[in-house]
C-alpha cells in the first residue's frame, strides 16, 4: 500500500470531519437531521467567492467572514422556522430542511449561475513534502484548520458557560428551560455554530476542488457518514471518524478504481447505521 | 352530509384537470404556413456550457430570416429556433426533446454535445424527426434508425495529429490516458490507445474516472510510476481543472498534454498560467482559411476573443446551415422529407465541406495550444505556429 | 355504506374514462399525461409509506431506478416482451426492498430517512460502475418493441390507478388502521398486538413495487435511461415535495400535489427552471410550517366554509399540538 495514498486519505478525512462535526452537533443537541447542512457548506464557498474572486482576497482571510455570514443566516432560520417545527412533529423539521435544500440550490443557481467555480489561491496547486511524502498543501492547511476548529468546539462545549447550557439543553430541554436556560436561543446558537463550521469546510473545499449549486448533497452524505461512524458524544470521535472515512475511501479507490469513491462512502454509512448505529468512536458515558 | 363538500371539491378538481388537458390539446401543426420551427435542447448551464454553439445556430437562422426566410416548396417561410436549456441533465434533455416535437411542433432538431447527443439519437428515432448535430466525434455515434446526422471531426484524425506532434516533441513516448467513465470516455480511451500504439507510443496507464472526481491521486500515482510524459485527458471541465491542479501540487510533470472536451472551454483560462501549453483539439481556427470565417470573426470576436469559442460558433452555424439547406431542398417542412433531403447533402459550410456517408460527415481537425488566454493553432502546418513547451505544469 | 363505496366507484369510472379517451388525445397531451401519471404513482407510493405508516423515505429513486433498469435490461438483453419486462420491474423493486428491509427496518424516524437517502445515492453510484447496465452512459431501450403513444398512456393510467387503489384500500381497511396506529404510537400499537415489523415491511414492499412500475413507464417514455437520469435523487425529492404539498396521509393529496408541483411549476415554468425550483422550496417550507396537512385538506376546509357546512365528529386522531388544525385533520383522516 502506497504511503502517499494513505496520507492523501488522512488529509481529505480532515475535511470530511469538519463537515461531519457540524452535522453531529446539530443532531446531538437539537435531535434534528439537518438536510440543508451541505448547503451551508456551499454557501460558505459562494459567499467567500464574492471577496476572493471579486476583490482578490486570500481565501483564508475571507474564511472567518464567511463563517460569520453563514452563522448569521442560520440563526434566524433555526429560531423562527425550525425550532417551532421541532416541537410540532417528528418529521416536519426533516421536510423543512429539505425545502431549505431545494431553495438554497435554486438561489445559488439564480445568483451565481451553474458554472463550476473554484476559489483561486496560491497554495491551491502547490505541494509540499512532509517526511518524504508528497502531499497537497491545501489539504494540509484544511487538516490543520479542522484540528483547530475541533479543539475550539471541544473547549467551548466543556469549558464555557454557554457550552454547559448547550449540553444541558441537549440532555433535557424541559428541565433546562425550567432552570432558566433559553432553549430556543441555545438551539439557534448551536445551529449557527454548526453552520459556521460548515462554511469553513466550504471555503477549504472551494480552494481544493470546484463547487456548483448542486455540490451540497454529496457533501451532506459524507457528513452523515462521518456522523454515523463517530456516533454522538465526542468531538475527537468525529475527527477520528472523518480520518477513517478518508482512508477507507482512498484505499478503496486505489484498489478498485475511481468509480468506487462515492459508493464506498455510502456503503460505509449504511453499514454503520445498520450494524452499529451508536457509532464506532462513541464514548460510553454521555 | 359532510361528504358533499368533499365531492364538490373533487368534482371541481376533476373538471379543472380535464379543462387543463383540453386546453393543452393544441391544434395540429400548420405544415404549410407560418414559420418553420426548429428545436434544440442544449446544455446552456451545468457542467457543460454551449452558449457559443447556440449563438451559431441563431446566427445562421437570423441570416436566413434576413433574406426573408428559406424557400420551402413554392413560398418563402421564416424560420423559428426554439431553444431550451437542459442544464446538462439527461432526463431534462429527453423530456425537452419530446416537448419540442410534440408540443412546439418542431420539424427538425439541432443537437447539444457529447454524451447528450448520443442519448438524443434514440428520441429522434422514436419521434421520427431528423436531428443534425456536431460536437460529437463521428466515431462515437452508434448506429441508429437513420434520423441522426453528425457532421463533425473524427476522433482518429485528432489522435493521429496529436501523436505526430508529440513524436516531434522529444518525449519518452509513454502515455497516460484518463477519461470519464461514460460511453464517450470509453470509446475515446480505446481509440487513442489503438492509434497511439500504431504510432509507436506505449500506453503506460489508461484510467477511467467518474464525472465529478476531485481526487486523482491514484491516476497521478499510476502516471508517475509509469513515467508517462505524454498526457491525454478527456473529461468534463471541472474534472480537468481539479486534475491539473493536483498534478501541479504532486509535481507530476508531463512534457506534452492534451485536454479533450475540457481544454476547449473558456473556463480553461481561469487556470491561469497552469493551463499554458495544454493542447486542445479544435474543429476550426481563424487561420485555416475556412468559409464564413470573416463573418464569424467580425460578429463574435469581441464577445468571444478566444479561437475555440469562435470555433463553437462556427460549429453551430455550420450545422444549422446544413439543416436549412436540407429543408429547402426537401420542398416541404415535413420531418420525413427533410430527413430524405439530408441524405443528399453536398455543400460547403463554416466547418468545411459536408457530404453524408452513412449519416456521418467528417470535417477537418486542428490542434491548438493555450498560451496566456489565447489558443494558437499548432497543427496541421498550414496556418500553424510552432509548438511551445508545457510551461503550465512544468 | 355508499360513503365507503363511492370513492372506489369514482376511481374506476375515471380510470375507464381515461383509458377510453386515449385514442382521441393528441400526442402532446398523451406525453404530458404519461409524465403526470408516473409522478402520481410515485407520489402515492410514497404517501402509503410515509403518510400512512409514518416511515419517511428519501430513497424513492432507488426503486424507480431498479424498475426502469430491470425493464431496460430485460428488453435489451433478454429480448422478452414488454409486458413481462414491465412485470419484472415491480418484482425487482420489491426484491430490492425486501433485501434492504433487513437493515432498514432496524432504523426508525430520521435514521430511516437518512438510511434510505444513502441507499438511493449508493444505487446510483453502483449502476454507474456496472458496465453490463451501460455504466455511466446508460442504456437505450429497443425502440421497436416499446409501447408508445396511446398504449403507453393507457399503461400509465393503469399504474396510477393501481397506486390510487392501494392508497384507497389502505385508507379504508383495517390494514390501514393498523398502519396508522404504528405511525402514531408504535409501542402502543405493539402492545395492542399489531405486528409492527410485518406491517412496516408490507408498506415498504407496496411502495417499492409501485415505484418500480412507475420507473418502467418512465423508461418506456424516455427510451434512454442513465444513472444521472432515472437514478437521480430528484425522483426522491419530487416524491416528498408533491405529496407533502398535496397532503400526506390523504388519498387525494398526491393528486393535488402532482398537479401543483409538476403541472403548475415544472411544466408551466419550464423556461424558468431556477425560478420554479425557488418556488418549490418556498412552497414546501410554507406548507410544512403553516399548513402541515397539505393543500388538499385546506381545499376541503375552504369548500366546507364556503358552503357553510360544519364538520360532524370524526373517528380520526388529530395531529399533536396543532389546535387550529384539529378539525381539518379529522376530516383529512376520513375517507379521502
Q: Is residue B139's pLDDT more than 60? A: yes
pLDDT at C318: 46
Which superfamily does CATH assign the domain made up of B36-153+289-364 to? Response regulator (3.40.50.2300)
Closest CA to B219 of B181, B191, B190, B256: B181
Distance CA B189, CA B187 (A): 5
Q: Which phi and psi angles does B250 have, rounded to 5°?
A: -90, 10
- pLDDT at residue C125 in the model: 85
Instruction: Give me the torsion for CA of B244, B249, B251, B254, rounded to 10°.
Output: 10
Count Cβ atoms within 10 A of the Cβ of residue C194 and give its class: 0-12 exposed, 13-18 middle, 19 or more buried.
middle
For A85-106, b/e burial (b = at least 16 CB within 10 A) is: bbebbbbbbbbbbbbbbbbbbb
Phi-psi region of C233 (alpha: psi -120 to 50; beta: other; left: phi over 0): alpha
- Residue B26: the pLDDT is 47
B188 with B179: CB under 8 angstroms? Answer: yes
- Chain C residues closer than 8 Å to A106 by CB: 274-275, 277-278, 280-281
Give the cell for residue B372.
496566456
Partner chains of A (3+ C-beta pairs under 8 Å):
B, C
Residues of B with CB under 8 A from a CB of A: 45-47, 49, 87-88, 181, 207-210, 212-219, 221, 237-238, 241-242, 244-246, 248-251, 267, 270, 272, 274
Query: pLDDT, tens digit, for every residue of B337-391?
Result: 999 999 999 999 999 899 999 899 999 999 999 888 888 889 888 878 888 888 8
- Average pLDDT of chain A to the nearest whole number: 87
Decide if B272 and A120 are in contact by the 8 Å CB cutoff: yes
Centroid of chain to Cα B184: 12
Burial of C202 from C-beta contacts in 10 A (0-12 / 13-18 / 19+): middle
Alpha-carbon gap, residue C78 to B75, rounded angstroms = 51
Within 8 A of B92 by CB-CB distance, chain C residues are 273
When comparing pLDDT for C107 and B16, which is higher? C107
Distance from CA of C105 to the nearest CA of B (A): 32
Query: pLDDT: is B13 or C17 the higher one?
Result: C17
Q: pLDDT digits over B142-178, tens only?
A: 889 999 999 999 989 999 999 999 998 888 999 999 9
Residues of A within 8 A of B214 (CB-CB) are 208-210
- pLDDT, tens digit, 9 for 90 and up, residues A36-50: 999 999 999 999 999
Rounded CA-CA distance B132/B109 in Å is: 6
- Per-residue pLDDT of C66-77, as tens digits, reads 999 999 999 999
Closest CA to C161 of C105, C217, C82: C217
Band of residue A280 on the pLDDT scale cut at 50, 70, 90: low
Residue B375 is classified by DSSP as E
CA pair distance A20, A22, nearest whole angstrom: 5
Instruction: Label residues A267-286 b or e (16+ Cβ within 10 Å = b).
Output: bbbbebbbeeeebebbeeee
Q: Region A233-257: what's the mean pLDDT?
A: 87
Chains in contact with B via at least 3 Cβ–Cβ pairs below 8 Å: A, C
Mean pLDDT of A128-136: 84
Q: Is the pLDDT of residue C122 over 80?
A: yes
- The ipTM (two decimal places) reads 0.84
Please, what sign has the CA dihedral across residues B280, B281, B284, B288?
positive
Contact A258 B245 (CB under 8 A): no
| CA gap B70, B66 in Å, rounded | 10
Alpha helical stretches, state H, chain C? 2-21, 27-46, 60-73, 82-104, 109-128, 149-172, 174-184, 186-191, 196-222, 234-246, 253-258, 273-290, 295-306, 326-332
Q: In this model, does residue B57 exceed pLDDT 90?
A: yes
**Rounded to whole angstroms, how far apart are CA atoms A67 and A198?**
8
C129 and B210 within 8 Å at the Cβ level: the answer is: yes
Cell 446539530 -> residue: A26
B288 or A21, greater pLDDT? A21
How much is the mean pLDDT over chain B? 87
Contact C250, C294 (CB under 8 A): yes
B299 contact partners, CB below 8 Å, separation of at least 6: B59
Residue B112 three-state SS: coil
| Domain spans in chain C, listed from the N-terminal domain onward | 2-335
* Residue of chain B whose Cα is closest to the Cα of A12: B215
User: What gap in Å lies between CA C57 and CA B164, rounded to an integer?
Assistant: 56
pLDDT of B6 reads 60
Q: Quick one: C224 exposed, middle or buried, by C-beta within 10 A (0-12, 13-18, 19+)?
A: buried
DSSP code, position B384: -
pLDDT the model gives residue C166 = 94
Residues of chain A with Cβ-Cβ distance to B179 below 8 Å are none
pLDDT score of B384: 82
Rg (CA), chain A: 18
Strand partners, B361: B151
Q: A221 Cβ partners below 8 Å, 6+ apart?
A: A38, A265, A266, A269, C117, C118, C121
Tell me, what's the pLDDT at A210?
Answer: 83
Length of chain A: 286
User: Can you tell me the distance from the alpha carbon of C139 to that of C131, in angstroms, rounded to the nearest whole number?
Assistant: 10
Residues C185-195: what's their mean pLDDT?
86
Please report the pLDDT score of residue B8 as a whole number: 55
Minimal C-alpha gap between A231 and chain C (Å): 12
> What pLDDT shows up at residue C327?
44
Q: Chain B residue with minimal CA distance to A135?
A: B250
Output the average pLDDT for chain C.
86
Q: What is the mean pLDDT of residues C43-55?
A: 92
- What number of H helices and E strands is found in chain B? 11, 17
> Distance between CA A250 and CA A228 in Å, rounded?
19
Among B1, B20, B211, select the one facing C309 at the smallest CB separation: B1
What pLDDT is stored for residue B205 in this prediction? 92
Greater confidence (C332 vs C280) lies with: C280
Topology given in CATH for the domain delimited by B156-287+367-379? Rossmann fold (3.40.50)
Show residues of chain B in contact with A210, CB under 8 Å: 214, 238, 241-242
pLDDT band, residue A132 (cuts 50/70/90): confident
Where residue C326 falls among pLDDT bands split at 50, 70, 90? very low
* C243 closest CA partner among A108, A98, A106: A98
Q: Report yes or no: C291 and C259 within 8 Å, Cβ to Cβ.
A: no
CA dihedral of residues C293, C295, C299, C301 (deg, nearest 10): 20
pLDDT band for position C310 (cuts 50, 70, 90): low
Interface list for C 274-333 with B (CB within 8 A): 299-300, 303-304, 307, 309-312, 331
Longest dimension (CA), chain A: 58
Q: Indicate the helix (H) or strand (E) that contains A150.
A: helix A137-159
Question: What is residue C320's predicted lDDT score, i.e. its pLDDT?
Answer: 44
Nearest by CB: B17 against C138, C228, C259: C259
Whether the per-residue pLDDT at C334 is higher than 70: the answer is no
User: What is the predicted pLDDT for the residue at C317?
Assistant: 46
Smallest CA-to-CA distance from C89 within C233, C220, C240, C247 is with C220
Q: Which residue in the set A85, A87, A267 is minimally distant from C122, CB to CB?
A: A267
Q: What does the DSSP 8-state code read for residue C140?
A: E
**Is the CB of A125 inside 8 Å of chain B's CB atoms?**
yes
Q: What is the pLDDT of residues B88-121, one digit of tens each?
A: 888 889 999 999 999 999 999 999 998 899 999 9
Chains touching C by CB (3 or more pairs below 8 Å): A, B
* Crossing angle for the helix pair A137-159 and A235-256, to the nearest 10 degrees: 150
Distance from CA of B91 to the nearest CA of C (A): 5
Domain ranges of chain B: 36-153+289-364, 156-287+367-379
Q: Rounded distance, CA B252 to CA B271, Å? A: 17
Residues in chain C: 336
pLDDT at residue C48 is higher than 90: yes
Per residue in B322-334, pLDDT (tens digit) is 999 999 999 989 9
Pick from C32, C133, C335 the residue to mutate for testing the B interface (most B CBs within 10 Å): C32
Residues in B touching A208 (Cβ below 8 Å):
214
pLDDT recorded at residue B169: 86
- Around Cβ B379, how many Cβ atoms within 10 Å? 23
Find which of A125, A215, A218 to mutate to test the B interface (most B CBs within 10 Å of its CB). A125
Task: Give A91's contacts in chain C (Cβ within 8 Å).
Answer: 50, 54, 56, 109
Amino acid at each position: 500500500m502506497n504511503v502517499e495514498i494513505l496520507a492523501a486519505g488522512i488529509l481529505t478525512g480532515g475535511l470530511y470531519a469538519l463537515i461531519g462535526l457540524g452535522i453531529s452537533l446539530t443532531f446531538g443537541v437539537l435531535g434534528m437531521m439537518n438536510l440543508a447542512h451541505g448547503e451551508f457548506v456551499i454557501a460558505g464557498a459562494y459567499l467567500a467567492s464574492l471577496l476572493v474572486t471579486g476583490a482578490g482576497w486570500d481565501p483564508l482571510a475571507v474564511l472567518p467572514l464567511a463563517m460569520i455570514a453563514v452563522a448569521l443566516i442560520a440563526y434566524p432560520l433555526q429560531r423562527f422556522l425550525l425550532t417551532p417545527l421541532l416541537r410540532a412533529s417528528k418529521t416536519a423539521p426533516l421536510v423543512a430542511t429539505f425545502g431549505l435544500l431545494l431553495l438554497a440550490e435554486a438561489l445559488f443557481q439564480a445568483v451565481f449561475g451553474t458554472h463550476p467555480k473554484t476559489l483561486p489561491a496560491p497554495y491551491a496547486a502547490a505541494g509540499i513534502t512532509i517526511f518524504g511524502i508528497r502531499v497537497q498543501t491545501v489539504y494540509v492547511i484544511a487538516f490543520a484548520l479542522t484540528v483547530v476548529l475541533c479543539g475550539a468546539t471541544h473547549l467551548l462545549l466543556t469549558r464555557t458557560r454557554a457550552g454547559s447550557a448547550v449540553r444541558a439543553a441537549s440532555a433535557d430541554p424541559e428541565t433546562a428551560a425550567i432552570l432558566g436556560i433559553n432553549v430556543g436561543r441555545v438551539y439557534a446558537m448551536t445551529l449557527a455554530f454548526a453552520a459556521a463550521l460548515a462554511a469553513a469546510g466550504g471555503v477549504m473545499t472551494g480552494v481544493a476542488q470546484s463547487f456548483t449549486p448542486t455540490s451540497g448533497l454529496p457533501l451532506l452524505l459524507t457528513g452523515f457518514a462521518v456522523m454515523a461512524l463517530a456516533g454522538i458524544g465526542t468531538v475527537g470521535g468525529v475527527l477520528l471518524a472523518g480520518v477513517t472515512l478518508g482512508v477507507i475511501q482512498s484505499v478503496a479507490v486505489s484498489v478498485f478504481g475511481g468509480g468506487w469513491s462515492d459508493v464506498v462512502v455510502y456503503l460505509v454509512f449504511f453499514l454503520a447505521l445498520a450494524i452499529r448505529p451508536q457509532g464506532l468512536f462513541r464514548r460510553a458515558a454521555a | 352530509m359532510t361528504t358533499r363538500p368533499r365531492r364538490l371539491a373533487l368534482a371541481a378538481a376533476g373538471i379543472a384537470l380535464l379543462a387543463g388537458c383540453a386546453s393543452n390539446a393544441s391544434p395540429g401543426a400548420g405544415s404549410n404556413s407560418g414559420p418553420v420551427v426548429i428545436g434544440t435542447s442544449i446544455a446552456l448551464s451545468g457542467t457543460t456550457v454551449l452558449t457559443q454553439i447556440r449563438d451559431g445556430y441563431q446566427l445562421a437562422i437570423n441570416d436566413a430570416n434576413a433574406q426573408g426566410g428559406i424557400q420551402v416548396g413554392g413560398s418563402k417561410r421564416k424560420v423559428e429556433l426554439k431553444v431550451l436549456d437542459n442544464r446538462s441533465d439527461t432526463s431534462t434533455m429527453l423530456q425537452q426533446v419530446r416537448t419540442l416535437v410534440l408540443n412546439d411542433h418542431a420539424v427538425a432538431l439541432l443537437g447539444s454535445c457529447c454524451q447528450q447527443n448520443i442519448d438524443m439519437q434514440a428520441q429522434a428515432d422514436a419521434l421520427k424527426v431528423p436531428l443534425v448535430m456536431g460536437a460529437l466525434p463521428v466515431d462515437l455515434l452508434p448506429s441508429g434508425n437513420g434520423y441522426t446526422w453528425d457532421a463533425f471531426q473524427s476522433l482518429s484524425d485528432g489522435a493521429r495529429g496529436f501523436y505526430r506532434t508529440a513524436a516531434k516533441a522529444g518525449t519518452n513516448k509513454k502515455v497516460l490516458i484518463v477519461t470519464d467513465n461514460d460511453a464517450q470516455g470509453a470509446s475515446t480511451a480505446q481509440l487513442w490507445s489503438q492509434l497511439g500504439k500504431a504510432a509507436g507510443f506505449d500506453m503506460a496507464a489508461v484510467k477511467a474516472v467518474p464525472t465529478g472526481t476531485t481526487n486523482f491521486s491514484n491516476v497521478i500515482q499510476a502516471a508517475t510510476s509509469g513515467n508517462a510524459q505524454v498526457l491525454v485527458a478527456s473529461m468534463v471541465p471541472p474534472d480537468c481543472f481539479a486534475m491539473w491542479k493536483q498534478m501541479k501540487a504532486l509535481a507530476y510533470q508531463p512534457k506534452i498534454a492534451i485536454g479533450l472536451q475540457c481544454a476547449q472551454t473558456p473556463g480553461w483560462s481561469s487556470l491561469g498560467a497552469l493551463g499554458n501549453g495544454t493542447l486542445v483539439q479544435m474543429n476550426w481556427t481563424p487561420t485555416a482559411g475556412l468559409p464564413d470565417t470573416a463573418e464569424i470573426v467580425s460578429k463574435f470576436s469581441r464577445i468571444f476573443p478566444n479561437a475555440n469559442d469562435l470555433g463553437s460558433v462556427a460549429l453551430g452555424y455550420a450545422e444549422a446551415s446544413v439543416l436549412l439547406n436540407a429543408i429547402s431542398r426537401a420542398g416541404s417542412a415535413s420531418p420525413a422529407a427533410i430527413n430524405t433531403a439530408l441524405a443528399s447533402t453536398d455543400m460547403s459550410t463554416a466547418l468545411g465541406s459536408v457530404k453524408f456517408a452513412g449519416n456521418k460527415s467528417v470535417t477537418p481537425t486542428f490542434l491548438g495550444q493555450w498560451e496566456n488566454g489565447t489558443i494558437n493553432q499548432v497543427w496541421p502546418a498550414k496556418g500553424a505556429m510552432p509548438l511551445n513547451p508545457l510551461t503550465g505544469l512544468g | 355504506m355508499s360513503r365507503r363505496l363511492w370513492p372506489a366507484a369514482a376511481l374506476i369510472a375515471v380510470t375507464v374514462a381515461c383509458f377510453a379517451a386515449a385514442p382521441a388525445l393528441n400526442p402532446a397531451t398523451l406525453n404530458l399525461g404519461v409524465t403526470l401519471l408516473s409522478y402520481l404513482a410515485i407520489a402515492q407510493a410514497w404517501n402509503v409509506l410515509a403518510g400512512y405508516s409514518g416511515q419517511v423515505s428519501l430513497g424513492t429513486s432507488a426503486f424507480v431506478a431498479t424498475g426502469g433498469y430491470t425493464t431496460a435490461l430485460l428488453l435489451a438483453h433478454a429480448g422478452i416482451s414488454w409486458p413481462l419486462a414491465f412485470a419484472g420491474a415491480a418484482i425487482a423493486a420489491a426484491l430490492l426492498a425486501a433485501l434492504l428491509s433487513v437493515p432498514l427496518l432496524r432504523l426508525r424516524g430520521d435514521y430511516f430517512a437518512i438510511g434510505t437517502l444513502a441507499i438511493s445515492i449508493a444505487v446510483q453510484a453502483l449502476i454507474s460502475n456496472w458496465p453490463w447496465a451501460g455504466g455511466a452512459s446508460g442504456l437505450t431501450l429497443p425502440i421497436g418493441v416499446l409501447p408508445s403513444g396511446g398504449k403507453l398512456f393507457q399503461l400509465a393510467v393503469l399504474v396510477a390507478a393501481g397506486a390510487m387503489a392501494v392508497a384507497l384500500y389502505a385508507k379504508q381497511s383495517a390494514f390501514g388502521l393498523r398502519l396508522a396506529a404504528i405511525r402514531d404510537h408504535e409501542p402502543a400499537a405493539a402492545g395492542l398486538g399489531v405486528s409492527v415489523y410485518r406491517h412496516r415491511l408490507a408498506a415498504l414492499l407496496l411502495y417499492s413495487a409501485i415505484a418500480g412500475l412507475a420507473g418502467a413507464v418512465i423508461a418506456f417514455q424516455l427510451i434512454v435511461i442513465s444513472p444521472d437520469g432515472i437514478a437521480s435523487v430528484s425522483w426522491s425529492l419530487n416524491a416528498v415535495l408533491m405529496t407533502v404539498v398535496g397532503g400526506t396521509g390523504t388519498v387525494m393529496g398526491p393528486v393535488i400535489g402532482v398537479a401543483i408541483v409538476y403541472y403548475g411549476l415544472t411544466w408551466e415554468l419550464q423556461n424558468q427552471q431556477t425560478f420554479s425550483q425557488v418556488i418549490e422550496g418556498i412552497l414546501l417550507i410554507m406548507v410544512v410550517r403553516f399548513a402541515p396537512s397539505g393543500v388538499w385538506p385546506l381545499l376541503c376546509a375552504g369548500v366546507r366554509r364556503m358552503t357553510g357546512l360544519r364538520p360532524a365528529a370524526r373517528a380520526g386522531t388529530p395531529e399533536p399540538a396543532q389546535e387550529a388544525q384539529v378539525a381539518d385533520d379529522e376530516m383529512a383522516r376520513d375517507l379521502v
